[in-house]
A and B are shown apart, each in its own frame.
Chain A
């Protein structure tokens, strides 16, 4: 009973609990925190304020305007759907890759790391155009197959949701692989050997030992990719079909061309708000500091 009472009196138990561990070195984070507050938090709040005050006395009018248009709401849900698909695609490709990096000798792991980082060295736009050149009706793949006589009509590889997922997962893969690799390489291989000693099959050892231990990395990568994917719109515009519209494009249109900043910020607030809700929900399931702060206090 005493503990329950205590908990009731302390709504932020973890914060209070953390206080004794405060040390002077954490003051080094102060500039970064100040920077984030000034450059991100304050503008974010200003954006929120604008969404209810522009035009003057707007209140929730901008939000009502948004939800009054079925088409806009569909774009919003579509945004999350595409982000989810891209995350799953990255996970399916990225997990075995990260696993491979942990089991091969160091030299090969370095090569694999370079392979993951390579896409970072060219611009998003260039890579997306490259996919266009490869995938479209008159593109490299279709030309090749047509010339070989394997197909008589070009395959539809582009201007579909599939095309969007291909392009996005190519761009986002490093954000999935790197956090997973960081977690996986810290998993002591002795655990697996111990499991085998105790009679576990390789599969069972993987499922019961390695997989659970790698989950923080999986979650970190997935959250990172998902949240980044929500802001995409160039790739869907170039590789997607008529229905693969994402909300960022509507926001840009309102902010840049229409100059309706009340409506534009309202849409941005919706996007940020739902994103935060996703992160919050995720924080219920896992401890986010394991996910994003996994190196703190370890090793």
Chain B
């Protein structure tokens, strides 16, 4: 039995080692959205209304309970207030919520045949054609697809529910009055703008894209990524880079002035300025516009009800709802955002210098891109 005591201890140690790493991985989102042509939607007011009106005015569905899963915090609260609560009032559909959206959990549920999630908010690295075994195809006879911003990488399995931007934020106190970085070239210019630079430590965070844009590549020509050229550009500020691994950290780094500039999700930049009251501003020029998406795990027990709810969130009347509370959204080009928030939204600041993630390319080439990122860091 002594022997087995030893073996038990052995196993326990191994178990601790593999289970004790403590804490989550990346953030909610990763890179996104097909770099496609300008949205064909705006002008063609041809067909939307049929799908649109059905989506906006769903019938009563007593006794239905949907599970809605997002990323928690003020974000999910905004979705709750803008979409879930009114939907319950309108249709009688009740919601149960989880706040731990994860691609891996969806995969686990589908593989084990125990699907409990109906509607899931996911990052731009998910919901692509390569995930077709994990997701229900969406019903575009209900969802007003042609009203949705076509730059945001809609697939058969996902639609964008809110938009956000990966942007450059700067600390006005550290840079000094009048020193406004005009874009990513200035982020890489530590002679003209001294100070540390914040970046998300993730190979598909957008840093390769920003390096290329700083080097003069046009947004439309970003893909396929020239990894060598991007790495070379990144080399020029290697000693000045400070990595962050969560949105909260990025907000703190730029707010405290630990970094003079950072790449940041626009909501975090907004919070640094408006919630934390720090001297932080956003440079929208050369932002990457991306989105979070709604998907239905394959085998969802409430597939049809889930489809109706997703259609409801996409319809012009309700889609911009979250922007009442947070600087995210809308994705429906006919939807009008909260007036006070318009100047702080990614979509309303999008212009010809804005870029869009090519999600499919990024998913297909992840291994190569990640290896280049790791090699750059270690080199």
Contact = CB atoms under 8 A, between A and B. Distances in A.
B17 interface: yes
Contact of A245 (B9, B10, B26, B374): B374
Nearest to B10: A279
A198 interface: no
B22 A292 contact: no
B371 A272 contact: no
B107 A159 contact: no
Given A228-B20, A253-B370, A293-B5, A40 B11 contact: yes
Chain A CB count within 10 A is highest, among B2, B15, B196, B366, for B2
Contacts of B366: 258
Interface residues of A, number: 66
Interface stretch (A69-77, A106-114, A208-216): A69-77
Interface size range of chain B in the complex: 35 or more
A234 B20 contact: no
Nearest to B107: A259
A242 B238 contact: yes
A21 B131 CA distance: 56
A237 B256 contact: no
Contact of A296 (B2, B16, B131, B238): B2
Contact of B13 (A65, A224, A256): A224
A49 to B, nearest CB: 14
Contacts of B12: 36
Interface string A263-290: 0000010011001100100000000110
B242 interface: yes
A22 interface: yes
Given A138-B256, A257-B30, A288-B10, A65 B367 contact: yes
Interface in B275-294: none
A71 B202 CA distance: 15
Given A39-B15, A259-B134, 9 more contacts: A14-B2, A29-B8, A71-B374, A227-B17, A234-B245, A237-B243, A242-B243, A243-B377, A292-B5
Interface of B: 1-6, 8-26, 30, 102-104, 107, 123, 125, 131, 134, 196, 201-202, 238, 241-243, 245, 249, 256-258, 366-367, 370-371, 374-375, 377-378
Across the A-B interface, the 3 shortest Cβ-Cβ residue pairs: A292-B9, A71-B374, A252-B25
